[in-house]
Structure 1
Amino acid sequence: MALGFLVGLGWFLAQVLGGLLVSISSVLILVVVSFFLAAGLDPSVRWLTGRGLRRPWAVLAVILGFLAALVLFVVALVPVITDQVNAIVSNAPDWLQQLQRNKQIQSLDDHFHFIEKAQAFISNGTFARGVFGGVLGVTVAVLGFLGNAFIVIVLTLYFLASLERTKSAIYELAPASRRDRVRDLGDRMLESIGGYVSGAVVVASCAGISSLVFLAVVGLKDYAVALAAVVTLLDIIPMIGATIGAAIVSAIALATDVRTGIVCVIFYVVYQQVENYLIYPRVMSRSVNVPGAVTVIAALTGAALLGVVGALLAIPTAAALLLLLREVWVPRQEAR
């Protein structure tokens, strides 16, 4: 009787705790993202402290630089990107009409009428209403995004400023005899996470800058900033982000001019090989050491659990877990 009561009580408490975790899952995701961003900014702080600057001043310098970059993006780039996105949307029906003049595409359209349907879909705003539920839905979505972005920024700055104190407090929970070992593993895990985050930003920035220069050269300068920003943001997503960004840019270029579109396809095929085999290995060689198969599995699992955010956090998390396996579990197995 007593055993059954305890089992039932335990099951009830587990259900309550599970429900609480689900209800605060969105907040927990914001906290985790902020911590990863703080770990990504921490290498800059350590770089400054290594050159004689005291950590409080180094943290202040990185925070000011981070905020200055955000302000610069909002003030300088957002209006340009907005204008160019509006130009892309307004020109989309004309691009579809140009595609209809292509003989091969016209023969396919005669059977499926997909261009006419796409043109009507864009013109009457059905897509926007279907996705966002009208103007009110767009407003709510934008306000929600801005609110989450503000929370992430505040938490990131807080974690960055208190990172050393937080680590020390966590390490003190370990037994004194193993505290040095825990400290070493914890610092290496954070370095791995921070190196991956900062490295991913560097790789994405290279893709964005290359796209900006290329698009300005081939004659798409009217949309270069907006499309380069899209490529930069998508390139951060592991595995598929770079391909999606290249497909978007190539499709717009193809609709503008067939030759330009072909040149874009060739450029992004070549650039992705350069990124995969030259830029990415050099940038990431000092941050993460994750086998290719583990990278794919981790990214797919993270995407299945948490979508894009899960895919972004999966690889550094896998790197940290592999570090623990190599340094803790494997040596114990070898000693048996």
Structure 2
Amino acid sequence: MAQETEPAENELDEPAIPEHRFGRPGPPLDKRNPFMMGLLGGFGVLLAWAIFLGIRNAASILVLIFIALFLAIGLNPAVTRLRKWGLPRGLAVTIVALAVVGLIAGGIIALIPPLVSQTTQLAENVPDYIQQLQRNETVNELVQRYDIVDRVSTALNAGTVTNALGGVVGAGRMIAGTLFNVLTVLVLTIYFMASFDRMRETAYSLVPASRRVRVRLLTDEILTKVGAYMVGAISIAVLAGASSWLLAVILGLGYPFALAVVVAVCDLIPQIGATLGAIIVSLVGFASSLTAGIVCIVFFIIYQQVENYVIYPNVMRRSVKVSDVAAVVAALLGVALFGVVGALVAIPMVAGVQLIVREVVQPSQEAR
């Protein structure tokens, strides 16, 4: 007789689970039912509205995150170069981050001494400027005709002073907010650089395996163009600083090297940076003399036109491989549509679109 096998220990301890322990599943819901269609449509509208409100409320933070990610992509080639020299990634990121912080700190330190001294000189020269205007017969005639003195006296009342104080408080808040945004972008950029490889591999793992290699090659090429754009932008900023240094030396302005550093750092800021640097140098020029201030204004008006329509397109054409017309049109459209962020990403975005059109869209059309 065959020996009876003893039941396993697990079979003795655990009772058999019925096939439909929680009941037999019913038929699937009829998605074509008018009630279900309206319910699902309403949930979809509410979800879309909630996403819109979330994006709108977090728009400022999302912009900071986007800028930090863009800067991390642009600085990653420097980290990669240091790693090829045998440095660990943490040390390479630290060196690049310290270089960026040193550049920002150097610009601020270079700005403070001339700003204080030249502002004092400008305040001291204001009475002389007023006397020169008073000697002008045309100015005196306009003052008497439009009663400018009485209008100014009426405007300088308690309400005006209160509004001015409110403006000062608002300016203080703006400066504090700007410093907070700069520090936030700086910290996020360091974090993104430290975990850049891990973030990139995670993003690639979400792509289907059959297309992962091609997506990796195209994306790496686009990221390379972002780094090339950063190199081109730095080259343009150095050229602007050198031109400002030469102008300051010719006019005999104080602190020419400091002014050059300020202009170079400001020129890295899209849309408003070049104008901000021009204003600072022009104020220093007016503090020196009226003629020097006018020369500075004329110089920067001409130089910015040359930079926007000659230097910038040519540098970007050589570094990012974008045509002159595409660079100018992209910069103008980026500023008009998205402001500073649009100006920051316009050229790399055009380069990426050109690459995708050339490598994906055109071969697909030719195969049809």
Q: Aligning the two structures, in what range does the TM-score lie when normalised by the shorter sequence?
A: 0.7 to 0.9
State the percentage of identical aligned residues. 38
**Aligned-residue offset at 1:224:** 7.2
* Structure 1 residue 291 corresponds to structure 2 residue 323: yes
> Counterpart of 1:314?
346
Higher mean C-alpha deviation, range 101-110 or range 315-324: 101-110
> Counterpart of 1:143?
176
Residue pairs, 1:1-150, within 5 angstroms: 1=34, 2-74=36-108, 76-84=109-117, 86-87=119-120, 90=123, 93-94=126-127, 96-97=129-130, 100=133, 106=139, 133-150=166-183
1:25-65 superposed Cα distances (whole Å, 9 cap, x missing partner): 10100001111111222222233234444444322321232
Structure 1 residue ranges without an equivalent (≥5): none
Higher mean C-alpha deviation, range 169-178 or range 255-264: 255-264
Partners of 2:266 and 2:276 within 8 A in 1: no
Distance change (3 Å), C-alpha of 1:162 and 1:92 = farther
**Aligned-residue offset at 1:14:** 0.9
* Structure 1 residue 304 corresponds to structure 2 residue 336: yes
For residue 27 of structure 1, what is the amino acid of its counterpart?
I
**Aligned-residue offset at 1:279:** 5.4
**Aligned-residue offset at 1:277:** 8.0
SS where residue 194 of structure 1 aligns?
A: helix
For 1:35 and 1:201, how far apart are their aligned partners in 2? 18
For 1:257 and 1:213, how far apart are their aligned partners in 2? 18
Residue pairs, 1:165-180, within 5 angstroms: 165-180=198-213
1:234-264 superposed Cα distances (whole Å, 9 cap, x missing partner): 46435x8646754774586468546535654
* Structure 1 residue 194 corresponds to structure 2 residue 236: no
Partners of 2:72 and 2:189 within 8 A in 1: yes
For 2:353 and 2:175, how far apart are their aligned partners in 1? 35
TM-score (norm 2): 0.72
Distance change (3 Å), C-alpha of 1:85 and 1:172 = farther
**Aligned-residue offset at 1:223:** 8.0
1:13-32 superposed Cα distances (whole Å, 9 cap, x missing partner): 11111011101110100001
- Rg comparison, structure with higher value: 2
Structure 2 residue ranges without an equivalent (≥5): 1-33
**Aligned-residue offset at 1:233:** 1.0
Aligned pair count reads 332
Match of 1:203 among 236, 241, 250: 236
> Counterpart of 1:331?
363
Higher mean C-alpha deviation, range 138-147 or range 251-260: 251-260
Higher mean C-alpha deviation, range 18-27 or range 213-222: 213-222
Partners of 2:122 and 2:287 within 8 A in 1: no
> Counterpart of 1:217?
250
SS where residue 74 of structure 2 aligns?
A: helix
Higher mean C-alpha deviation, range 52-61 or range 169-178: 52-61
